[in-house]
Amino acid sequence: MLVAEQPAKLPEKPLKVVHVVRSLMTGGLETLVLEMCHRMRKLDSVQVQVCAIEPGDELEERPRYAEVQRTVFGRSGHLGRVASISALVKLFRRERPDVAHLHNFLPHVRGSLAARLAAVPVVVTTKHGSSRPRLLHSKAVACWSWQLSDVVVAVSADAREKFVAGYGFPVEKARVILNGVDTDRFLPADNGREAKRSRVLGVSGRPLLGTVCRIESYKGIPTLLEALTTVVRQEPETRLVVVGDGSQRGDCERRAQQLGLADRVYFLGNRADVDAIYPLLDLYVQPSYSEGISLTLLEACSCELPVVATTIGGNPEIVVDRKTGILVPPRDADALSAAILEQWHAPDSAHAMGRAARARVVEMFSLDSMIGRYVELYQELLSRRGSRGTAR
């Protein structure tokens, strides 16, 4: 008896995701989204691209992200609220994504309205910090806007708790997906650190402290400078490198001069080679007053650096005090300087904490793990909808 040949099963089409950010200015959120897309491109099951509502800086032009598909509005002039929403509607209707993935409040407000108007099946918003902005000066309107997302993802348990409490958001629609880093890219130092310091950074001296951030008021650089005045009294050869740029850079440079630290603090601006800079440091310091899950702190830990960080936001979810680093209160220059000196004067303990920090990052904060959880979330939400690619 002949058996009818079964038709070949057609491969399922890739999941199509459009990420929306405010801009591609150099910063942790923006770098994370580009890293996600850079890595997601290697997955046969996902097609991904990024849309920025406003122009960025050199971050978007780095060769590492050359193959990430990008759309940037406002290059020929600033787009207002209505114009940017209209542009997003057109983008969504043209690209027909399965998922609109929005990052932080302004992209959420404009992107979620556009996604609903364009009938995008699934809308996900990631909230990267713990701030609680209002919409049209109204908390009630902001609360309503969050309901336009199928799920709001917080990057830390602390951020989720504050978000749910602050907006009265349904607990079942608020998830936690921890940020992740490429642990194969951010690696511990090899030999020849001293020689490389001079060549890569133009800096000599020990201990060499470092921090990487967008230089804004909430990053706590003034507190770090105050702490440094105490550190150099005990360790006169101490140097500090600050990698990054921002609106407060000029003020911080002037403050370093006022404190007599101009020859000990190096403001390096934005750098594309941060993965080569971390291993040259003796100690990483995170003096922030506000954080979600800090990408730079994860990168430093992945490089096995001894770290000192403040007890705010998601920092305690990354650093286990006295096991993978030292935590100190924010805005406390005395506690910060004491922790820096403790790490430097107890090298065996500091290095043991650095090794434990990398092991924790590999286990809990890898980029692949983060991406896998997002893809699972997309698929879960789409299965509830029972449809794919219905945007018009």
Identify the pLDDT of residue 186.
96
Whose CA is closest to 234, among 385, 133, 338? Answer: 338
- Report pLDDT for 1: 40
What is the location of CATH 3.40.50.2000 in the chain? 15-180+367-385, 193-364
Q: Are 118 and 93 in contact (CB under 8 A)?
A: yes
List the 208-212 sheet strands across, edge first: 265-269, 239-243, 208-212, 283-286, 307-310, 326-328
How far apart are the C-alpha atoms of 52 and 20, rounded to whole Å? 6
Give pLDDT, residue 224.
98
| pLDDT < 70: residue spans in the chain | 1-11, 192, 387-392
Q: Are 212 and 252 in contact (CB under 8 A)?
A: no
- Cα separation, 189 vs 200, in Å, equals 14
| Pairing status of strand 208-212 against strand 15-21 | unpaired
Q: What is the pLDDT of residues 309-362, one digit of tens each?
A: 999 999 999 999 999 999 999 999 999 999 999 999 999 999 999 999 999 999
Q: How far is CA 177 from CA 155, 200, 287, 304, 313, in A?
A: 5, 35, 24, 23, 15
User: Hunting for tokens 């995170």 — which residue is that?
Assistant: 286
Residue with tokens 């434990």: 356
Q: How far apart are CA 21 and CA 274, in angstroms?
A: 22
pLDDT of residue 135: 86
Helix (H), strand (E) counts: the chain: 14, 13
Sign of CA dihedral 337, 312, 53, 38: positive
Residue whose token pair is 């303990």: 349
Q: Is the pTM of this model over 0.75?
A: yes
Identify whether the C-beta of residue 100 lies closer than 8 Å to the C-beta of residue 92: yes
Fold type of domain 193-364? Rossmann fold (3.40.50)
Could you tell me the two tokens for 273? 């080679």
The gap between the terminal CA atoms of the chain, to the nearest Å, is 48
Q: Tell me, what's the pLDDT at 200?
A: 87
For residue 105, give every residue at least 6 positions away whose Cβ sits within 8 Å of its Cβ, in sequence order, or none. 127, 131, 133, 142
Architecture of domain 15-180+367-385: 3-Layer(aba) Sandwich (3.40)
pLDDT in the model for residue 134: 86
